[in-house]
Structure 1
Amino acid sequence: MSIHSTDPVTGLSPVRVQVGIDAAVVANHHVCVREILPDGQVRLSRFTAPPTLAGLDMLSNRLRGYPGVVAVAEPTSMTWLALSIAMRQAGGDLSLLGARHAARLRGAIIGKDKSDVIDADVLATAGEVFTLAPLRPLTPPQLALRRAVTRRGKLVVDGNRSRRRLISLARWAFPDVWSAFAGSQPTAVAVLTRWPDLRALGSARRSTLTGVVAAHTRGVPDVPARVEAIRAAARAWTGFWEGHLDLDALAWEVAEHLHDMAEADQRIARATAQATRYWADLYGDDPLLLSVPGMGALRT
């Protein structure tokens, strides 16, 4: 079904057509078609379209009566990709308006109210305020690289959260033990992975603990002193918490945080490898770029 661009009652054809789409991930897309008639009147048409193949086909058919129209949407998740294809099939195009700009425009027009219908109406007027450019989607390999890099970035953030949770726990449950690691996270992770229970850490064999600390602390001459500080602090906090804190539960919590960190590192490594493959397939190595100080292998 197509929308006829000429009003059957007045016979007037719009001099300008604006389309706003409030994209949805699990609900329906809300669409507002705003036609400006020769006499200055505005004719609004609103409809919804599910984000299914049938819904996208219906959207294309409804907007095919306006060849060359540029619809405006916010970049909600990846909904813009399917919408851009549907708009091109309708003979139009899609332009994205950042959420921050859309919020400013909404506030200027209608205050702080928000709904899907209102958003579609607001987006339809975006061309009166912003300079809009038709969306030019990336090629499939470029999009795959972008999504892999984006996922890697989110995984790095999640991994940092796991580390901060462990640090937060250590700072109140056994701060002296954490201080005895002397700022070496590899040492802290290795020691607590082997001895998550303060009681076991406090009674750990000196030679075994020394081997673990030395293996994760390079070029530091005071390894024996660190080992003694770790063992003494663990014994002291074991005594302090007696009758006040379940040390078995504390050990379980430490182990869980360490497990979360290990899983995060594995996910980051997989995403890094995938993004690297996509990059190499697209661009290969660039000796000149990699020769710039600070450039080179990707680090977390």
Structure 2
Amino acid sequence: MRARGLWACHLGPELGGQGYGQLRPALLNEVLGGSSWAPTIFGCRAPDSGNAEIPAHFSTPEQQDRYLQPLLDGEVCSTYAMTEPHAGADPLLFTTTARRDGDEWVIDGEKWFATNARFAAFLIVMCVTDPDAQDPHRRMSMLLVPAGTPGVEVVRSVGVGTDRPGEGTHGYLRFTGARVPADALLGEEGQAFVVAQTRLGGGRIHHAMRTIGQVRAAFDMMRERAVSRSTRAGALGSLQMVQEQIADSWIEIEQFRLLVCCAPPGSSTRSRTTSRCARRSRRSRH
């Protein structure tokens, strides 16, 4: 994939990607979504694609050598530990803390649905470091935690979606006095919200496009079933109600796809995708 210029297309050239922006990687991920292993082959699997964005923007050169480069080379995988059992994905309700103790951070709490936790080389953990901060969005920081750190426990791994029974990859994590060096901080103290949004902005687009790829695969199976299944009246697909249902499904998929393709990658930028969709919309009205 590197030789063909298709490796890690979501990243800039300085990180080994192509600097394609959002539109072309989105279209690529739509194709990759039909296969469970394709994102790994193309160097854009979740959560590693988003996790690479964080050290790329907020880590020190030493952290990049230790964590980012092996991730970009496809040698390791990583975990993003943000959501919590009682709070879901609402950071203002998080209770996992990291307190300073000399030259170390001490982490206590629990995280939920941390993808790849049982075989990740490192974790990126969102922790409350200043619970009394006046601005609630400045209460948390992001920390790098190497796998195998004492006090980090994978309580269990659960499956979602297409995961087979007993092969779940989403970890329930417990931190009990887990210690990491003071320089494990990503970005500045209290900057976790900014760090998280940098990761999630483009990631939402790619996730949605991979979902469309999966939905298209299901749609193809539905069509195959309609022409291969026979009834007393002939092929199932010859029935008007079935044809209507297939047509409605196609329309819904196309609506979903256009909504994603026309979404800007972040609140601070207007993507080329948005501009192109707007131009197409104006042409269609005329």
Q: One fold, TM greater than 0.5?
A: no
Q: Which has the larger radius of gyration?
A: 1
TM (norm. structure 1) is: 0.36
Larger RCO (CA within 8 A; separation ≥ 6): 2
